[in-house]
Amino acid sequence: MSPYKELNLNLTSNQQALKDGVHRIAKEVLRPTAVTLDRMSDPQEVIAPGSPMWTALKAAYAQGFHSALIPAECGGLGLQGLSLHIALEELGWGSAEFAASIAVAGFPFASVAATGKMDLIQELVMPFVADKEARFVGCWAITEPDHGSDQFMASTPQFYDAKISGQVTASLDGNHYVINGEKSAWVSNGTIATHAVTYLTLDPSKGLAGGGVAFIPLDLPGVSKGKPLDKLGQRALNQGSILFKDVRIPKRYLLVDASAYEMVLHRTLALTNAAMGAIFTGVARAAYEEALTYTKTRIQGGKPISEHQLVQKHLFDMFTKVETCRALSRAAMVYNAAMDPPAIEYAIAAKTYCTQACLEVTDTALQLFGGKGLTRDCLMEKLYRDARASLIEDGANDVLALVGARRLLDRESGT
């Protein structure tokens, strides 16, 4: 399969090299490893020492992909806008679960770098950037047993309701914060992570708006982890709960207080939702390419099924959805990388549209494969399951649409 036609005529040589390099590791390492891990019946086996998962992560770290979100001045790749989209789409093409795992692995350290505090950057970020062996793995701890997508519903009335507050709390005790509570089993990288950027409650009287963000090493006394989830799709993406019981962190590890929490949450939502759009553009593209190749060789009615008009119509509809996914998610990521505050309604549109379109493309592709598409040895079967998970992760699409709608209404009213 030849690479997709690049409609941006202004890619730099560095961006083209980035695309080629990420695609190579996605094809040669991430996709085959994800397929192998997907077939393991026990999710504990996926994360065990010696698992192919660690070999794949080390290969990504060796190329510096774990530092994609770390600014260049801190030694990272400093990818943003178009370059970040290119990398995430290619990673998603290879494996949605590795794309998410690699991206979130650097999130705590990128959050530290964003503070601009050089003492913290030297202490926490620089060792991560230098890591080539996946010794440091980050996670984004936001989801809780009683709070999932509602954590993102800034600007809606329930976000400010004092009767609704988070379950992981931080209380100041001298020069330390004491952390208590549980993050639910949906924390990506949760059971393998060494560090967490933790979204927690500082002032419950403000409801979910009274939050903060802390950097928490997960080897501290009082931290424990649950078992990795056994899931329908994205089985190579380790997810599990994290529990905090009287965990003490230095006061300086609180990166964001309640006064800036909503602003930071908006920026986080703009980044993560656009990233989901990019990753699942890649998954949709993978499904379309698999279907296009297969229909050229599968014989029915005395000729390849690609010569039947109905199949041709399906192929073109799939192609159109992949191209519109790329156009929307790229535009949102490029725009928001250049704007502060970001326009999160566009990032949400990218996430909800691209994940839904991805499910539709994988569904059509599986239909074109016929019975073969239902078998576990067919990549399409896995891509379909991976796509289905995307409508729920990083915010359920229906809830995110309400957040986006609220932004549109506020924008029109000038608030």
The Cα–Cα gap between 178 and 111 comes to 20
Q: Is the pTM of this model over 0.95?
A: yes
Q: Which residues of the chain, if any, have pLDDT below 70? A: 1-2, 414-415
For 138-260, CATH number out of 2.40.160.10, 3.20.20.80, 1.10.3720.10, 2.40.110.10 equals 2.40.110.10
pLDDT at 154: 84
pLDDT at 157: 87
CATH superfamily of 263-413: Butyryl-CoA Dehydrogenase, subunit A, domain 3 (1.20.140.10)
pLDDT at 414: 66
Pair of tokens at residue 281: 């553009």
pLDDT at 1: 59
Can you give the residue ranges of every domain in the chain?
Answer: 13-130, 138-260, 263-413
For 13-130, CATH number out of 3.40.50.1370, 2.60.120.1440, 1.10.420.10, 1.10.540.10 equals 1.10.540.10
Q: Which of 255, 268, 235 is nearest to 381 (CA)?
A: 235
The Cα–Cα gap between 108 and 127 comes to 13
pLDDT at 115: 97
